[in-house]
Amino acid sequence: MKRTYLFDIDGTLLTIKNLANRRIISGVLQHFGLTQHNIAGLDFAGRTDRCIFSSLLGHSGEEQFQLVKEVYLRELGRQLKKKDIHVFDGVMRALTHLESKKALTGLLTGNFEKAARIKLSQMNLDHYFAFGAFGDDHADRNDLPHIAFQQIAERSGGRFKPSDVVIIGDTPRDIEAAHSFGAISVAVCTGSFGRKQLEAHKPDVILSSLDEFPEWDRAA
Ligand SMILES: [Mg+2]
């Protein structure tokens, strides 16, 4: 079947262990004297980096946002190590399955583009994703499928419709982004949401992990 695939990163392909990402963000905020924030309880799931940082910075303005972003990306690149990242079961299986069928595969993630590439390249996963829509410019995840789809159209010569796009993610926000665009929604239970919670948002399919992805893709 003719399809193209867009993957979320955190909770779907991998997770950052030992709260390394929060430690780095905390350090960056301290660097700017923004010590009033307690980020331990902050909800990151499914939110774009722009949305997360904007809420931390309040009304500080675009210039401050860009400065903080720059330092965050520098520190992420410097501090995030392979040992801080866990790649979920079945990820390699799913990606090699898509590679072997030469499927057009990209990212749909709230991460800043550079943050996404830093995380993936640490685990040698970067090269599976030729393009993507990222959280640099958009606070709302629902804007991202349109951006990814423009790139899909350019790369495929307009071969795909929104209903040929499969959006794979671990949160209700991923499901909502797929629904809002008319794409197929694949939810995975490897993030912070359980099967029951994801079911309530009516994805097209729920997989325990990406280990089940090739079978679903062949059958569906
Ligand atoms: Mg996620």
Phi/psi of residue 178, each to 5°? Answer: -65, -45
pLDDT higher than threshold 90 for residue 14: yes
Q: What is the pLDDT of residue 170?
A: 96
Q: Give the residue carrying structure tokens 């830093």.
A: 118
CA of 149 to the centre of ligand 1 (A): 19
Residue type, 215: E
Beta-carbon neighbours within 5 Å of ion ligand 1? 8, 10-11, 170
pLDDT the model gives residue 38: 67
Q: 146-197, pLDDT tens digit by residue?
A: 999 999 999 999 999 999 999 999 999 999 999 999 999 999 999 989 999 9
Distance 53 CA to ligand 1 centre (A): 16
Within 13 Å of residue 193, how many CA atoms lie on the same side as its CB? Answer: 25
Six token digits for residue 124: 């040698």
DSSP letter at 220 equals -
Q: What distance in angstroms lies between residue 45's CA and the mean position of ligand 1's atoms?
A: 6
For residue 10, report the distance from its CA to the centre of ligand 1, in Å.
4
DSSP 119-165: HHHHTT-GGG---EE-SSS-S-GGGHHHHHHHHHHHHHTS---GGGE
Q: pTM for this one? A: 0.92
Q: How far is the CA of 8 from the centre of ligand 1 (A)?
A: 6
Q: How far apart are CA 184 and CA 176, in angstroms?
A: 11
HSE-up (13 A, CA, CB side) for residue 170: 23
User: How far, in Å, from the CA of 47 to the mean position of ligand 1?
Assistant: 8
| Centre of ligand 1 from the C-alpha of residue 86, in Å | 14
Tally the C-alpha atoms within 13 A of residue 19's C-alpha that lie toward its C-beta. Answer: 9
How far is the CA of 186 from the CAs of 22, 112, 152, 169, in angstroms?
27, 22, 18, 7
Question: pLDDT by residue (tens digit) across 17-53?
Answer: 878 888 898 888 888 888 776 676 677 777 788 888 8
DSSP assignment letter at 135:
S
Residue 145 has which token pair? 């499928």
